[in-house]
Amino acid sequence: MNRERFTGKRNEGQKNDRNSSERGERRRFVRDIDKRKPVQKHADRKQSGEKQVGASGKPQAQPAGKEDAAMPLNKYVAHCGICSRREGAELVKQGKVKVNGDVMLQPGYKVQSGDKVEYEGKIITSQKNLVYILLNKPKNYLTTTDDPKERRTVMELVADAGDERVYPVGRLDRNTTGLLLLTNDGELAQKLSHPKYNIKKLYQVTLDKSLSKMHFDKIMEGLTLEDGPVQVDAMAYLEKKNEIGIEIHSGRNRIVRRIFEHLGYTVEKLDRVMYAGLTKKNIPRGKWRLLTEQEVINLKYFKQ
C-alpha cells in the first residue's frame, strides 16, 4: 500500500475540502480491501477449471513430495502436524520427543526411514497429505488446539474438515474475529510466523471513542510500547472516526489492541479482514474453506 494515500495527508489545494477528501480516503481503503485477491465462489472455480485443494468441505491433500528419510528431527515433528519447526526444536530440547525409545535432545538429528519417533507417548508419523484451511473466526473461541478448562476452541469449527491433524498459524485473541489459517504444513507455518517475512495483516478496529488526528499521526509516526517500538504500515479512518482500518506486519501479542490502549482507547471490536494476501470474502463468520492450489503457491513462493 502507499502509506501517504492512507495517512489522511492533503496538499494545499485540498485543505478547504476536508470532508470530501476523507470520504474519498475511506472509499479507497475499502476498495483496496476488496481488491486483495478476491475469493471465487465454488461454482466460479468449477467453471473456470481452477484446481482446488478441496471440495464439498472435505480436503483434497497436497502431495508431500519426497519421503522423509534423513529429515531433521524438528522438521519431522513439524511434518507430523504437531507444531512449526521452531516449536518442534523447542519440544526436542525440552526432552518431549523420543527416537527409538530414547529421549533425543538434538533438533538436528537426522530421522531415518526405520526410526520410531514418539511424542507424548505416541508414535508420530510425517503427514503425506497437506491441508490448508482458511477460517473466519467468530468471537469467544480460543486459538489453540486444546484448552484444559474445556472452553470452545477454533478446532471445533473445523472438526469436519477431514482426518488430518491441523493447527493454527499464529493466534487471534478470544474476542478477536476474522481470518485464521490452519494447516499441517510445518514449513509454511514457520515462514508465515517468522518476523523476517513481514507478513501483512489488515484489521478493522472499532474504538470506544473517535480517534483524534493527533493520535492518528502519533501512530503513523511510530509508538514505543513496553516491549519495544512498533510501526504500522498504513492506516485510515473508515465510516466513522472511531472506526479505523490498520495494516501491520508485526505479529507481537495483542499488538493492535495495545497500540490503541497505549493512547487511552478501548478496542470494542477487532476484525482481521486480510492475512498474507487472503481475504474473508465469501466466508461467513464461523465457516471455513480450503485454499486453492494457486493460493498455496502464492503463500509458499511469492513475497507479500
Among 248, 264, 260, smallest CA distance to 203 is for 248
Distance from C-alpha of 230 to C-alpha of 219, rounded to nearest angstrom: 9
State how beta strands 102-103 and 243-248 pair. Answer: unpaired
Options 173, 185, 208, 233, the catalytic residue: 173
- 155: which residues sit within 8 A by CB, 6+ positions away? 144, 145, 146
Helical pair 186-193 and 85-93, crossing angle rounded to 10 deg? 100
Tell me the C-alpha distance between 291 and 29, whole Å. 25
- How far apart, in whole angstroms, are the C-alpha atoms of residue 157 and residue 177? 13
* Catalytic (active site) residue 271: no
Report how far residue 31's alpha carbon sits from residue 25's, in angstroms, rounded to the nearest whole number. 10
Is 254 in contact with 266 (CB distance < 8 Å)? no
3-state percent helix, strand, coil for the chain, nearest multiple of 5 = 30, 25, 45
Contact 34, 275 (CB under 8 A): no
Q: Which three cell numbers stand for residue 113?
A: 526411514
The CA-atom distances, in angstroms, between 207 and each of 2, 92, 188 are 24, 43, 33
Rounded alpha-carbon distances, angstroms, from residue 5 to 31, 58, 203, 237, 303: 13, 41, 17, 12, 22
Q: What are the φ and ψ backbone dihedral angles of 185, each rounded to 5 degrees?
A: -90, 95
**H or E element, residue 64:** none
For the annotated catalytic residues, the residue numbers are 173
